[in-house]
Structure 1
């Protein structure tokens, strides 16, 4: 799916630390834990809790966040609609990675079993 350059730039320059608290609230309001959220983020990016906290403190943009990440090879198994877009059809690689993360957080909040969220 085609995203606009303006959308892609906006996402690239957004800081991870500005979105992270919303992820935490979303999953905790649905009975999941911050630790489960970190497990999902680590699965996708390879970031340990320590590294994740450093990135939050540094206020890195999503662009820098995913430049430093080691994307899980099974990330391509993440499919479905998030924010009106099919994640597997997003043509901008960075926007697709951000939407992968959004999709995983959404699945976690909806109560999916962790092994399904982590595509194992």
Structure 2
């Protein structure tokens, strides 16, 4: 299964441009790439995968290998995964709103969450 976060990281690490709306999102993607590089440092297999995708950035197979290596690293280290997810949320919050849009992000646990925009008239929440 391909997920947008790890694929965006893999694509950025392959030297491809990742389309994001604003500077904060670009900075967050760059921070994600740095975190993955740090995680892979000294890990022979992962470093070889990274070198392979850098040498062959247009190879879907190499990109897929890197994507899977990132997913394995996340599965092995929950704190690493949480850090990447936090940065990914920054990317999403900066890059999803349009000119007249609103971005609502919720993270954590709650019994009830309400997110809305442009309520005209009465509103009762019970």
Q: TM-score range by the shorter chain?
A: 0.3 to 0.5
**TM-score, normalization by structure 2:** 0.32
Tell me which of the two structures has the higher relative contact order, counting C-alpha pairs closer than 8 angstroms and 6 or more residues apart: 1
TM-score, normalising length: structure 1 = 0.33
Q: Decide which structure has the larger Cα Rg and report it.
A: 2
